[in-house]
Structures are given as structure tokens and as C-alpha cells.
Amino acid sequence: MNTENLAIIVGGTGSIGSAISNEIKNLGFSDIIKIGRKTNPFIDFNDENSIQQTVDFIKNKKKPISILFDATGILHDKNNNKMPEKTFKNIDLDFAKKNFLINTIGPSLLIKYFSPLLDTEQRSVFATLSAKVGSISDNGYGGWYSYRASKAALNQLIKTASIEMKIKNKNAIFVALHPGTVDSDLSRPFQKSNLKIQSPKESAINLMKIIKNLKPTETGKFFNWDGLELPW
Ligand SMILES: NC(=O)c1ccc[n+]([C@@H]2O[C@H](COP(=O)([O-])OP(=O)(O)OC[C@H]3O[C@@H](n4cnc5c(N)ncnc54)[C@H](OP(=O)(O)O)[C@@H]3O)[C@@H](O)[C@H]2O)c1
């Protein structure tokens, strides 16, 4: 991985995204761009044009991307008092749409705009933060309809993009990552004492260890924070 190239963190303003930027810096990258909804340039998944404008800004740097890390996502919607659904009775059109917009459609637009900018000469990585609850085979508890389904769909997008990119750029690696339960606004209402809770820094160190060691043959896979492969 060429550390002279760009590292981009979309959702770089979030808890895990901020910690990931620090760890990318520790890897030796100096050109790191952290993007949130209020940065300049910014990305808001409600506005495809914001992604196009960010990509135009990045193209002006005339360097390929070595790491595109997507740390965006939602689980609950505090402003509208919406929590993940415990039963199908709680499924709500607006909340479901919001989950799919931010957890699935937004990352699909990142694939569309950023994949062509990934380094073709040396290893490059497109990583997205998914969630273990998005694994269909691992679903033992039910509930959380919109979040689970939007992350399962995100996993499918990563697998699909990995197949297309094997032809277009053999050095590009596409992965979905589960960060573990990490202390953040997103997870706070659901943290239980029996769960191992990592700080954003701990999780970011673990996730960057995976990214550092990824091989092109591992494209299209889903990894847990400890490096073990997860089932789709
Ligand atoms: N924390 C956990 O325990 C845990 C467990 C499993 C999976 N994950 C996954 O890890 C990811 C990051 O979680 P986190 O705990 O770091 O959450 P977080 O601190 O709430 O960060 C969420 C990020 O998403 C961005 N975002 C929200 N709405 C957006 C939109 N409309 N357009 C573009 N960006 C938007 C936020 O941008 P702003 O800063 O601009 O608001 C922020 O950067 C999520 O995908 C989550 O599902 C987390």
C-alpha cells in the first residue's frame, strides 16, 4: 500500500471514523481527508451532488486513493425518537427509508464515485463498516429489521463490487468490517454489561490491523474486528 497516496475517511467525523483517521496517520499516511456532513468538502447521502463535488476536489489532488474507509451509518434516530424495531409491528416507512438511505444507498454511491480512483499499481482498499447483525446466517435473535436488512444489503453491495472490480483493478480489495460493540452515540442505548465494549481507538487499531494485512485474494469478504471471517 502506497502511503504517499490519499486516504479518505467518509464518516471521518463519527466516533469510529475519527479513530480510524488517527490510526491511518500512524500507518504513515500524510494526505488524509476526513469527510463528514459539515466538513469542507462534505458528503451527505441525501445529496448525490455532494459526493460528486467531493470527488472533483479529490481528483484535483492528482493522486490515487490507497484507502477509502466508509465509517458512516445509523442505528437509531434520536431526533425523530425512532429506535430499531423489536417486532415487525414497529416497522415504519420513514425510519426504514432512512436506514436504507444511510446504511445502503449512500455507501453504494461511494462505490460508484470512488472505485475508479483506487490505486491500480499497488494494493488499495475500499472498506465499509457493516455490522455482524447484517449476517443472515448468524441471525439468532431477530428484531432490528431495518438495520439488519440495510447492512445485509450493504454486504451484498461489497460482494458485488468486488466481483466487478476484479476485472477493472486487480489490486483493489473490497471488504465489509464489523467493528465490535464500540462506545459511541450510535451504540450507547444498546450497550449491555455482558458485551465486550471497545473504545473507538481499540476498535480502530483492530480494524487497521486487518486492512494492513489484507491480500487481493481476500476481496469480497466480511471480517470481524478480531480478523476472523464472518459468514454472509
Ligand atoms: N458503535 C458500534 O457499536 C457499532 C457496532 C457495529 C457496527 N457499527 C457501524 O459502524 C459505523 C460507525 O458507527 P459509529 O459508532 O462510529 O457511529 P457515529 O459516531 O454515530 O458515526 C456515524 C457517522 O455517520 C455519518 N452520517 C450519518 N448520517 C449521514 C448522512 N446522511 N450522510 C453521510 N454521513 C452520515 C455521521 O456524519 P456526521 O458526523 O456529519 O453526523 C458520522 O460520521 C456505522 O455504520 C455502524 O453501523 C457500529
pLDDT in tens, 162-214: 999 999 999 999 999 999 999 998 998 888 777 789 999 999 999 999 999 99
Q: Which atom of ligand 1 is nearest to the CA of 17?
A: 16
Q: How many CA atoms lie within 13 A of 94 on its CB side?
A: 7
- Is residue 72 scored above 90 in pLDDT? yes
Q: 226: which DSSP letter?
A: T
Q: What is the pLDDT of residue 207?
A: 98
Confidence of residue 229 (pLDDT cuts 50, 70, 90): very high
DSSP character string of 90-108? G--HHHHHHHHIIIIIHHH
| Cα–ligand 1 centroid distance for 2 (angstroms) | 27
Q: How far is CA 50 from the centre of its chain?
A: 18
Average pLDDT value over all residues in the chain: 96
If you average pLDDT over residues 51-65, what whole number do you get? 97
- For residues 31 and 61, the answer to whether their CB atoms sit within 8 Å is yes
Q: Which atom of ligand 1 is nearest to the CA of 16?
A: 16
| Cα–ligand 1 centroid distance for 14 (angstroms) | 6
Name the pTM for this structure: 0.98
Q: What is the pLDDT of residue 110?
A: 98
Q: Which atom of ligand 1 is nearest to the CA of 37?
A: 40
| Cα–ligand 1 centroid distance for 167 (angstroms) | 31
- Ligand 1 binding residues, C-beta < 6 A: 11, 13-17, 36-38, 43-46, 71-75, 102, 106, 129, 131, 178-179, 181-182, 184-187
Residue corresponding to grid cell 488499495: 124
| Cα–ligand 1 centroid distance for 147 (angstroms) | 12
| Cα–ligand 1 centroid distance for 134 (angstroms) | 15
Residue nearest atom 7 of ligand 1, based on CA coordinates: 131
| Dihedral (Cα; 43, 207, 112, 32), 10-degree rounding | 50
3-state secondary structure 180-200: CEECCCCCHHHCCCCCCEECH
| Cα–ligand 1 centroid distance for 11 (angstroms) | 6
To test the ligand 1 pocket, which listed residue (21, 22, 37) has its Cβ within 8 A of the most ligand atoms?
37
Q: What is the chain's Cα-based Rg? A: 17
**Domains of the chain: residue spans and CATH:** 6-224 (3.40.50.720)
Confidence of residue 77 (pLDDT cuts 50, 70, 90): very high
Q: What is the pLDDT of residue 67?
A: 98
